[in-house]
Amino acid sequence: MNLLQPRRVEANAPWRWVREAFALIGRRPAAFGLTSLVMLALFFAALEVEQTQLRFLIALLLPPFGIGSCLRLAEAADRSRPVTPLELLPTNREVVQILGIMVLGYGFVFALIVAASAGGWALEPGTLADERWRNYVDAAATMLGLPVALAVKGVLFGISLAAFACILLVAFAWFALPLSQLCGLPTLPALRLSFSAYRLNAHRIGLASVATLAAMAALVLLSLGLAAVLAAPFLGAMLYVSYREVFLGQAENSPARATAGLGVAEAAT
**Do 96 and 90 meet the contact criterion of CB atoms below 8 Å apart?**
no
Give the residue-averaged pLDDT of 9-19.
87
pTM metric for this prediction: 0.79
The pLDDT score that the predictor gives to residue 78 is: 94
The answer on pLDDT for 143 being more than 60 is yes
Give buried/exposed letters for 53-68 (b at 16+ CB in 10 A, else e): eebbebbbebbbbbbb
Please report, rounded to a whole number, the percentage of residues in the chain having pLDDT higher than 70: 72
* Length of the chain in terms of residues written: 269
- The closest alpha carbon to 20, from 260, 252, 258, 236, belongs to 252
Of 26-40, 67-81, 82-96, 106-120, where does mean pLDDT reach its minimum? 106-120
In angstroms, rounded to a whole number, what is the distance separating the alpha carbons of residues 269 and 220? 33
Q: Between 42 and 22, whose confidence is greater? A: 22
Give the residue-averaged pLDDT of 216-243.
81
pLDDT category of residue 269 using cuts at 50, 70 and 90: very low
Whole-Å CA distances, 192 to 1, 71, 179:
12, 20, 10
The answer on pLDDT for 229 being more than 50 is yes
* Segment 178-194, tens digit of pLDDT: 998 898 888 889 889 99
Of 83-92, 113-122, 185-194, 256-265, where does mean pLDDT reach its minimum? 113-122
Q: What is the mean pLDDT of the chain?
A: 76
Give the residue-averaged pLDDT of 122-151.
58
The answer on pLDDT for 268 being more than 50 is no
Give the residue-averaged pLDDT of 130-156.
64
The dihedral over CA atoms of 22, 59, 225, 97, expressed in degrees to the nearest 10, equals: -10
Give the residue-averaged pLDDT of 49-67.
78
**Do 35 and 88 meet the contact criterion of CB atoms below 8 Å apart?**
yes
**Do 230 and 18 meet the contact criterion of CB atoms below 8 Å apart?**
no
The domain locations on the chain are 13-267
Sign of the alpha-carbon torsion through 34, 35, 40, 46: positive
The pLDDT score that the predictor gives to residue 224 is: 62
The pLDDT score that the predictor gives to residue 65 is: 85
Show contacts of 147-150: CB within 8 Å, 24+ apart: 149/125, 150/225
The answer on pLDDT for 125 being more than 50 is no
The pLDDT score that the predictor gives to residue 225 is: 63
Instruction: Return all residues near 64 (Cβ < 8 A) that are at least 6 apart.
Output: 98, 101, 102, 164, 177
Whole-Å CA distances, 191 to 59, 62, 106, 137, 186:
23, 21, 14, 39, 9
Alpha helix (H) residue ranges in the chain: 13-27, 29-46, 52-78, 92-107, 110-118, 131-144, 148-170, 176-182, 187-222, 228-248, 264-267
